[in-house]
Amino acid sequence: MGKLRGKVVKSGDNGMISYKNADGVKTEIPYDQPLSAELGIAMGTRVSFDVVLVNNSNMAVAVAPINNGTVGKLDPIKGIGSVLETESQIEYPFQQNYTAESLIVVGSNVKYTLVWSNNVLSAAALSLIP
C-alpha cells in the first residue's frame, strides 16, 4: 500500500489520524506509536504512516511527522532561531551553523529533523525546500 499521509486529530501514543482513503473519502484511523511526544507528534501534526491489520481492524503504525515548516526567527551570527511547523503551528527552536551560507533566512520553507535534547524538542538539520 505504501506510506499514507494524514493529520493527527488525537495525540498521544494511542491517538487518531484523519486522512483520505483510496476512494478519496475522509476517514479516521487509530494509531499506536510509542514515544510519540519525543517524535514531535502533536495535535494537528502532518504525519506519514503505514496501515496494518490488527484483530480485523486497520491500525496506523510507523507514524512519523513530515516536518515541514517556515523559519520564523533567525540570528545568523549565533546560528539560532525557530521554525514554525506548517500544519500544527508548533514552534521549535533550532541551532544550526552556516545558515547564511545555506541561504536560510526568515520566511524560508525548510525540512528538518526533530531531536529531543535537554528536555526540549528542537529542529535540527534544516534544509531548504525548493
Residue type, 71: V
Distance between CA atoms of residues 63 and 47, nearest Å? 6
- Helix (H) or strand (E) holding 36, with range, is helix 36-39
Place of cell 499506536: 32
pLDDT per residue over 10-51, tens digit each?
999 999 999 998 899 999 999 999 999 989 899 999 999 999
Output the pTM of the full model: 0.82
Question: What is the residue-averaged pLDDT of the chain?
Answer: 93
With contact defined as beta carbons under 8 Å apart, do 15 and 47 qualify? Answer: no
Closest CA to 67 of 51, 50, 83, 43: 83
The DSSP output letter for 39 is: H
For the residues 101-118, what does the mean pLDDT come to?
Answer: 94
How far is it, in rounded angstroms, from Cα 107 to Cα 71? Answer: 5
